[in-house]
Amino acid sequence: MTDSMNDLERKFLQLKKCIHVENSAPVFDMQNPVNFIVNLQPDLEISRGMFLPNPLLPGTFRAHPVTIRALKKDIMVGGFEFDDLEDIHICGSCKHKLDRQFWHFCPFCEANLPEKS
For 14-41, what is each residue's pLDDT tens digit? 666 665 556 666 655 556 666 778 899 9
Q: Is the pLDDT of residue 4 over 90?
A: no
Do residues 26 and 16 touch, judged by C-beta distance below 8 A?
A: yes
Q: Report d(CA 106, CA 94) in Å as an integer.
A: 9
pLDDT band at 69 (very low <50, low <70, confident <90, very high): very high
Give the pLDDT of residue 1: 41
Mean of pLDDT over the chain:
80
DSSP 91: -
Return the higher-pLDDT residue of 107 and 116: 107
The answer to whether the pTM exceeds 0.85 is no
Hey, where are the domains in the chain? 7-86
Return the higher-pLDDT residue of 84 and 35: 35
Do residues 98 and 89 touch, judged by C-beta distance below 8 A?
A: yes
Exposed/middle/buried for residue 83 (C-beta within 10 Å: 0-12, 13-18, 19+): exposed
Q: Is the pLDDT of residue 2 over 50?
A: no
Q: Is the pLDDT of residue 42 over 60?
A: yes
DSSP 9: H
Q: Report d(CA 18, CA 51) in Å as an integer.
A: 31
